[in-house]
Structure 1
Amino acid sequence: MRHIAIVGSGPAGYYTAEAAVKKWGDEARIDVFDMLPVPFGLIRTGVAPDHQSIKGVSRRYEKTAIGDTVRFVGNIAIGRDVSIEELHSLYDAVILATGAPKDRLLRIEGSDAENVIGSAAFVGWYNGHPEFANLNPDLSGRHAVVVGMGNVALDVARILSKTEDEFAGSDIVTHALDALRNSRLESVTILGRRGPHQIMMTPKELGELLQLERASPQVESADLPPLDDDAVLEPGMRKSVTLLREFAAIPPNIHGEKPIAIEFDFFASPKAIDVTDGRATGVVVEQTVVEAGRAIGTGETYRIPADIVITCIGYETSPIEGVPFDERAGRFANDQGRILPGLYCVGWAKRGPSGTIGTNRPDGYSVIDIVDEDIGSGHRKRGREGFDDLAAERRLDIVTFRDWQKIEEAEIAAARHGSPREKFVDIESMIAARGL
């Protein structure tokens, strides 16, 4: 019997568990650990609450999680409750699928001011992540600045701009919905260091901005390259740039009918955040030009008013004591998923925050092939039995998948009208709900 520990129950973790089941069947026991009492990682706390179809992939993970081969071990923090060394002593292979939960920092003057928030924290806040549920961002000002040109920046801008009715069918948590209902925002500026041909935004997410009831996307025609230049773009990117051209062609009278402007500011690199009495009041921006794909500052600066700044510039993996870490790349140091003998990584913890949810599937299958090659059919460790003995000795309170199903039932029962669930936003409530 092969004993495998997977740390992290998000897409990378469950695709890896799925691959292990297909590789070894009943000849393996796979324990999937998570520091939260609830599974699915970014599917629950990272995917936008108004993208329910994407969240539906968790049903696939449930098929893997139900049965004796794969076990969910929630409410266990590796590095706090159990060390990597202890886990390694119990399992034939330990696979880190911890993702990249930390914001990459915007290292400019004023970035530590009040109401300057990273996207991991802001997205976690409106998605009900226990670590960020008490964030309480101030939305009483008129101007928001979103730094970044990827889909996360689009998610943040869209969520800030929606009416309460537009959240029907979503699982946005009530505390966020209440705050957004009382928002006084009039503009959301999306800052990008480079130009339209370098954005990382996909057509579907860009197209959603055209459907907003009270917000209108705006692009300066002068920022767009000549139309003929679009021919060299790959099809997805070409569709995205075509949408930006549509935004630039929206008649001004349409903007007047909608009270919120979503303004794309290209060739704009943030250089400092203006701060008054500890709070952000504006962003100083340097104009850039793009040379060989890189943004080069021109020395010309201007100021954008900002009552709240949300940075969407990437994520980093959280280090774990005893695991080699690549500080520059913000992920575990690894060679195609191998970290040390018996220790592996997968997903964002392996390659950094890139790709889609589906990208993690081939990644998971690949690492299981590597593990199979490494561990062969030799001596086996105690695995699940050994961990259960350790957990009993330390009186660790494990949350199982059956417990999670009870938590989910309670969330569904508590849902406001039109919402699929009302998430528990603190660990104590999650654990209490399993006894209902």
Structure 2
Amino acid sequence: MNYKLLFSHRKLWTLGRRRSTSRLHEGIRVSGQALFSSCSPKVCVVGSGPGGFYTAQHLIKARPDVELDIYERLPVPFGLVRFGVAPDHPEVKNVINTFTQTAKHSRCNFYGNVNVGRDVTINELKEAYHAVVLSYGAEGNRTMGVPGEDLAGVYAAKDFVGWYNGLPNCRELNPDLSCETAVILGQGNVALDVARILLAPISMLKSTDITQPALEALAQSQVRRVLIVGRRGPLQIACTIKEIREMVNLPGTKPEMLPADFEGISEVLKDVPRPRKRLTELMLKTALETPGEKELERRKSASRSWGFRFFRSPVEVLAEPRTNKTSAIRLAVNRLEVEGFTRAVLTGEVEDVTCGLVISSIGYRSLLIDPGLPFDSRKAIIPNSMGRIQHTPGVYCSGWVKTGPTGVIATTMNNSFDTARSMMEDMDSGALDVSAVKSGSQSITALLRGRGVKPVTFADWEKIDSVETKKGEAEGKPREKLLSVEEMLMGGR
């Protein structure tokens, strides 16, 4: 339904003005449905990453009467767009421009530095708003569940990415990059981002928004070889062709593959969907074909290498004798079985790979922020139906807390729009009662003030943004991020 057209229609507006006050309180009706009510629906979104902003964007565009507030734990917005996207992928961050338009809309307000679950409860938000949308993402790490994963030199990819992207709680990570070989467990886009950052020339990174401490550490890094390990085969790899192409073309590096990992792949390619076929053909070409003269020369001069290792699963991280420091990783060798789906089965063989750095990129994990909410601890998501949280009327979810850590930003956009549509359907059907007067941010900000919490507005964020941009300009970078909550709060004053 095109609400803007209906509202701008002069005859309908004239008709509305002639109604009595009581009829206006009921709202203008078309085909029996109210287009607006005297009590504007008040909605709050918890989390200002892609899931939160896309949900807010769709609601504001589709409902000209909705008033929306976004609450964020950190003083700065944009979630994984700021803290998860690789520094050398600035084009992906352009979505921030769209999010900024939403945040500055007259019916939207941003409140940073508010930790929902600690500073304010979900029940308190439910009292103040007609609907609450949980979009706080996936803050936790999936563990490998193998001996030695707590050794020095073993890191979660989420933390490693947070370190070079300026996430405040990762600023002290200080990863040990003094080894020659690093092993990354997992073969998704994040795994390839980490591999690329470890091997990229410093000249390529210093013009990005990577943090200065990370840039300095990488400049001193001794890592020269990165192996990207997956438990299944080339046809099941989880990354996209763009990331593989970037690895293939990364200056100063050469591929290091095992031809045996690709046996029989060419024969089955004709039955593979086109995107997967193109991706696999690129890997086959890189692994098996003799390179041309120019590429051969490039590889000969390369001082660093990378490679996929397929059909391997971690068994144990091994320590140096009499130390707590990583010296190697033991991998089980797998074979594939197809029983409706392709799964890796242990062969009984193992192999040890010498390395001093292990980065686990096997997935992010959502956490429960309120004990009163339902939560599927196995899937690490909030159980929901199209964003409607089970057995919790008026509370919805979007983003990774809804779906798990899957897909790219466009995937999150679509599932967030679905959540917004579910909420609007509930408003129209009466399943979500928006007739009662709700206080919205008025009561929540008063409550926070009484608890000593000072929210950061979007105008405050723009001051932080200006500080970071000016610091970056001095270094020839798009920005130099403030690395602690305290610095951010100072920058916003």
TM-score by length of structure 2 reads 0.86
What letter matches 1:3 in structure 2?
K
User: In 2, Cα distance between the equivalents of 1:119 and 1:61?
Assistant: 26
Percent of residue pairs bearing the same amino acid type: 37
Deviation at 1:218, TM superposition (A): 2.1
Task: Specify which of 387, 397, 416 is matched with residue 364 of structure 1.
Answer: 416
User: In 1, Cα distance between the equivalents of 2:134 and 2:181?
Assistant: 40
- Match of 2:182, SS? strand
Task: Specify which of 285, 289, 302 is matched with residue 258 of structure 1.
Answer: 302
Question: Which stretch shifts more, 136-145 or 334-343?
Answer: 334-343
User: In 2, Cα distance between the equivalents of 1:84 and 1:226?
Assistant: 51
Task: Specify which of 352, 363, 376 is matched with residue 314 of structure 1.
Answer: 363
Mapped pair 1:21 → 2:60 = yes
Partner of 1:11: 50
Partner of 1:278: 324
Mapped pair 1:379 → 2:431 = no
Task: Specify which of 208, 215, 219 is matched with residue 257 of structure 2.
Answer: 219
User: In 1, Cα distance between the equivalents of 2:418 and 2:250?
Assistant: 41
CA deviations on 1:410-429 (whole Å, 9 max, x unpaired) are: 00100153310000010000
Partner of 1:243: 282
- Give the CA RMSD over aligned residues: 1.4
Question: Which stretch shifts more, 299-308 or 358-367?
Answer: 358-367
- Match of 1:231, SS? helix
CA deviations on 1:75-112 (whole Å, 9 max, x unpaired) are: 00001111111111111111100111211111101011
Question: Which stretch shifts more, 244-253 or 328-337?
Answer: 244-253
User: In 2, Cα distance between the equivalents of 1:140 and 1:380?
Assistant: 61
CA distance 1:234–1:380, change in 2 (3 Å): farther
Deviation at 1:250, TM superposition (A): 5.4
The unaligned stretches of length 5 or more in structure 2 are 1-39
What letter matches 1:46 in structure 2?
G
Question: Which stretch shifts more, 390-399 or 303-312?
Answer: 390-399
What letter matches 2:313 in structure 1?
S
What letter matches 1:425 in structure 2?
L
CA deviations on 1:139-181 (whole Å, 9 max, x unpaired) are: 0111100000111110010000011111143110000000000
Mapped pair 1:409 → 2:466 = yes
Question: Which stretch shifts more, 45-54 or 162-171?
Answer: 162-171
User: In 1, Cα distance between the equivalents of 2:207 and 2:437?
Assistant: 48
Question: Which stretch shifts more, 211-220 or 106-115?
Answer: 211-220
CA deviations on 1:188-210 (whole Å, 9 max, x unpaired) are: 11111011000011111110012
Mapped pair 1:428 → 2:472 = no
- Match of 1:269, SS? strand
Deviation at 1:382, TM superposition (A): 1.2
Partner of 1:341: 393
Larger Rg: 2
What letter matches 1:419 in structure 2?
K
CA deviations on 1:381-414 (whole Å, 9 max, x unpaired) are: 2112111221222231110100001100000100
Deviation at 1:211, TM superposition (A): 2.2
User: In 2, Cα distance between the equivalents of 1:190 and 1:395?
Assistant: 47
Deviation at 1:376, TM superposition (A): 4.5
User: In 2, Cα distance between the equivalents of 1:250 and 1:130?
Assistant: 46
8 Å CA contact 1:201–1:240 kept in 2: the answer is no
Which 4+ runs in 1 deviate beyond 3 A?
A: 250-256
Mapped pair 1:303 → 2:352 = yes
- Match of 1:188, SS? strand
Mapped pair 1:328 → 2:378 = yes
Partner of 2:311: 267
8 Å CA contact 2:208–2:478 kept in 1: the answer is yes
Partner of 2:163: 125
8 Å CA contact 1:255–1:261 kept in 2: the answer is no
Deviation at 1:358, TM superposition (A): 1.1
What letter matches 1:429 in structure 2?
E
User: In 2, Cα distance between the equivalents of 1:204 and 1:428?
Assistant: 37
The unaligned stretches of length 5 or more in structure 1 are none
- Match of 1:5, SS? strand
What letter matches 2:286 in structure 1?
F
8 Å CA contact 2:130–2:433 kept in 1: the answer is no
- Match of 1:146, SS? strand
8 Å CA contact 1:3–1:380 kept in 2: the answer is no
User: In 2, Cα distance between the equivalents of 1:60 and 1:159?
Assistant: 27
User: In 1, Cα distance between the equivalents of 2:209 and 2:290?
Assistant: 31
